[in-house]
Amino acid sequence: MNRVSQKISAATVALMLSALLLGATSAGAADQKGTGSDITVRIPQDAIDSPADAEAVYGKLRAAAGSVCGMGVAGFQTMEVRNRNKKCYEKVLADAVAKINQPLLTALHESRGKANKDG
């Protein structure tokens, strides 16, 4: 049962990232530079057994969310575009963590979110 659930979660993350990219680019297609319409983050069933594993998976999710949402795009961006990209990034990352639903990953994400709000 857990193996099936984890496979579904990984596939759902890929689909969700694609769907959110489409929503983000349709909201501001003129201001967005597309990075691709599909990003797959593969997460083996037993990938999150330690805090180090959670860090590794979280890093992959952050990179994928950044690509999907246009974070790190070179060149001038208006404040509106940067804010929209940041909101997209935060939502995609939070949704991916929630879909994977692993306690170590969730705790890491929540601690990073709190640190960002405090600092």
Tens of pLDDT along the chain (119 residues) come to 444 444 444 444 544 554 444 444 444 433 334 444 468 888 887 789 999 999 999 999 999 999 999 887 778 889 999 999 999 999 999 999 999 999 999 999 999 987 666 55
Q: Tell me what pLDDT residue 47 has.
A: 80
Q: Token pair for residue 24?
A: 């983000």
Cα atoms in the 13 Å half-sphere on the side-chain side of 86:
9
How many CB atoms are located within 10 Å of the residue 81 CB? 17
Q: Tell me what pLDDT residue 113 has.
A: 81
Taking the C-alpha atoms of residue 16 and residue 20, their distance in angstroms, rounded to an integer, is: 6
Q: Tell me what pLDDT residue 42 has.
A: 85
User: Is residue 99 within 8 Å of 13, Cβ to Cβ?
Assistant: yes
Q: Tell me what pLDDT residue 17 has.
A: 54
Q: Tell me what pLDDT residue 76 has.
A: 85
Nearest Cα to Cα of residue 93 among 115, 73, 110, 79: 110
Query: Quick check: pTM over 0.75?
Result: no
Q: Using the 8-state DSSP alphabet, how is residue 29 labeled?
A: T
Return all residues near 57 (Cβ < 8 A) that are at least 6 apart.
Answer: 43, 47, 48, 100, 102, 105
Taking the C-alpha atoms of residue 5 and residue 10, their distance in angstroms, rounded to an integer, is: 9
